[in-house]
Amino acid sequence: MKKRLVVSTGAGMSAESGISTFRDAGGLWENYPVMEVASADGFRRNPALIHRFYNERRAELVSVEPNAGHRGLVELEKYFDVHIITQNVDDLHERAGSSSVLHLHGELMKVRAMDNESLLYTLDKDHLETTPDTLIDGHHVRPHIVFFQEAVPNFEPAVDLVQSADIMVIIGTSLAVYPAAALLNYARRGIPVYYIDPRPASVPASVHVIAQGAGEGVATLTRELLNNI
């Protein structure tokens, strides 16, 4: 029976693929007023601007590839029952081949009907752009993104996953945004917790910090885990 490895990733996971993080120097929130382009109020105020913001991020996403960190997590599936929880809205974990990915903040390549949020549509390379006037199956659509000021519906399933973990790993997050940042507190007492981040946020002393980027850090983690398997 493989041990369950639960990995919680943030924007730093995709940095080495060329996607900028939010709060590093030159990050997304330095160039965009976050409450204008990523909040429920912003969407009500100026939906066209928000559609444009996510159109731009989709165009960037289809031009980049998963990095060694994403691939290293797929490799770990040979030895562990790996489940990814991600704050990222990109599809790089899926494109790398991870078999279990739970998105907390939505998915950039999906939009949903404004009049029925259970109706999801996956955009393809040839139809990446939406506007407030776009109709899919007769429905106006919005980005399938959890805006600030909106609930995080996948948080409960994420907590269940963390509570079932034999090993927990956190990669590339500033642990600045809740409820995602609280996931660490749900890990069962005594299980090993690792945190891979070149500029780690402060975490309890019991957490094993690997102060490296995702690619190098996942390789370091893998060596450490396989030495103790």
- Contact pick of 8, 17, 87, 130 for ligand APR (by CB under 6 A): 87
Segment contacting ligand APR (CB under 6 A): 51-59, 72-80, 122-130, 170-178? 170-178
Take residue 83 and report the two structure tokens written for it. 């489940």
Segment contacting ligand APR (CB under 6 A): 6-14, 95-103, 108-116, 118-126? 6-14
What CA–CA distance (Å, rounded) separates 125 from 127? 6
What CA–CA distance (Å, rounded) separates 180 from 162? 11
Nearest CA to 93 out of 73, 108, 76 is that of 73
Nearest CA to 10 out of 160, 169, 154, 122 is that of 169
Does the footprint of ligand APR cover residue 17 (CB under 6 A)?
Answer: no
144 catalytic residue (yes or no): no
What is the nearest approach in angstroms of ligand APR to the Cβ of residue 106? 9
Does the footprint of ligand APR cover residue 177 (CB under 6 A)?
Answer: yes
Considering 51, 83, 105, 144, which one is annotated as catalytic? 105
What CA–CA distance (Å, rounded) separates 66 from 92? 5
179 upstream amide cis, omega within 30 of 0: yes
Residues within the interface to ligand APR (CB under 6 A): 10-12, 15-16, 21-24, 27, 87, 105, 172-174, 176-177, 197-199, 201, 213-214
Catalytic residue list: 105
